[in-house]
């Protein structure tokens, strides 16, 4: 065997190290999508081509709140087919859904909410995606441990359908990471997770970076990135530290911008500005 020179060994090591860094960097850059409601196109298939035009890598779609024939607006095979066709045509995935009807019928005490979640599980599966957001805001916000227990019990009833469909139920709310995990544990299902929203948690007084690290990748299904009413990077949340924490926990899912549109500025212009900033942070 010929003796390998020291220079050749050093060059090989350097190239190997570069390859590891490049592969690691690519893996850590999570896909950035957008919510259809912040595109002002809630429950509207046209959110997909607009998101693709702006440069997003996914869209989180809402099912709508205007009930017709005891169904949510998207509960129609033709509309589902339209979403799938537009997703394929514009090469942009539907990265998740939201049962926004829970703003009217909350899961903590309204039995009708269970119907909407079960319908949403079926529709999420039909749309060929895996993460379904369950919101808890306004009068349906979780205010105390008893209400959290009630939510956990309702999720335990719903979870078998989510498990059969392979759908993750993500809790988005204004309570602490620890209280979210109590609900997740009470549901007794691996399909129940936390949908972590940076803006909600910061506004509620929680340390966003600390909570992300404490929850870890196994208890977060997706992220909402926002610091409303500010542009990303111009408010109180340090997004470089947020992205660092997301990378540190090994999270590989998606994050969606849920950023406000400012007066006198178009949705497209505002979204481009926020998307450019977060991609710059990701490096």
Which phi and psi angles does 97 have, rounded to 5°? -135, 170
Q: What are the structure tokens assigned to 147, written together? A: 């209400």
Q: Which domain holds residue 237?
A: 31-282
Q: Is residue 24 part of a domain?
A: no
pLDDT surpassing 90 at residue 197:
yes
Q: How many domains does the chain have?
A: 1
pLDDT at 28: 60
* Tally of residues, the chain: 283
pLDDT at 27: 36
Spatial CA neighbour of 159 closest among 182, 139, 184, 136:
184
pLDDT tens string 201-255 = 999 999 999 999 999 999 999 999 999 999 999 999 999 999 999 999 999 999 9
Q: Is residue 12 part of a domain?
A: no
- Span 86-110, average pLDDT: 98
pLDDT tens string 139-163 = 999 999 999 999 999 999 999 999 9
pLDDT tens string 17-51 = 333 333 334 336 899 999 999 999 999 999 999 99
Q: Is residue 234 part of a domain?
A: yes
pLDDT at 29: 84
Q: Is residue 248 part of a domain?
A: yes
- Give yes or no for a contact between 198 and 238, defined as CB atoms under 8 angstroms apart: no
DSSP state for residue 71 in the 8-state scheme: B
Q: Is residue 5 part of a domain?
A: no
CATH of the domain at 193: 3.20.20.150
pTM, 2 dp: 0.90
Q: Which residues pair with 225 in a beta bridge?
A: 257
């Amino acid at each position: 065997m010929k003796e390998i020179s020291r220079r050749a060994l050093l060059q090989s090591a350097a190239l190997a190290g570069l390859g590891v860094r490049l592969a690691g960097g690519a893996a850590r850059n999570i896909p950035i999508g957008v919510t259809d409601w912040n595109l002002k196109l809630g429950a509207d298939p046209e959110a997909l081509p607009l998101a693709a035009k702006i440069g997003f890598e996914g869209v989180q779609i809402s099912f709508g709140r205007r009930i017709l024939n005891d169904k949510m607006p998207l509960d129609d095979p033709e509309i589902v087919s339209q979403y799938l066709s537009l997703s394929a045509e514009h090469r942009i995935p539907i990265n998740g859904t939201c049962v926004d009807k829970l703003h009217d019928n909350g899961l903590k005490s309204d039995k009708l909410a269970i119907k909407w979640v079960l319908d949403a599980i079926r529709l999420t599966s039909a749309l060929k995606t895996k993460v379904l957001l369950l919101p808890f805001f306004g009068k349906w916000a979780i205010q105390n441990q008893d209400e959290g227990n009630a939510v956990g019990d309702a999720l335990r009833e719903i979870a078998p359908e989510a498990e059969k469909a392979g759908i993750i139920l993500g809790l988005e709310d204004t309570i602490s990471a620890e209280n979210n995990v109590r609900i997740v544990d009470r549901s007794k299902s691996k399909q129940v997770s936390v949908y972590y929203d940076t803006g909600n948690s910061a506004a509620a007084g929680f340390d966003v970076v600390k909570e992300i690290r404490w929850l870890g990748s196994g208890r977060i299904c997706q992220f909402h990135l926002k610091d409303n009413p500010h542009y990303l990077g111009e408010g109180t949340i340090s997004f470089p530290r947020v992205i660092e924490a997301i990378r540190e926990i090994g999270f590989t899912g998606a994050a969606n911008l849920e950023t406000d549109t400012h007066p006198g500025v178009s949705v497209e212009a505002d979204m481009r500005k926020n998307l450019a900033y977060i991609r710059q942070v990701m490096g």
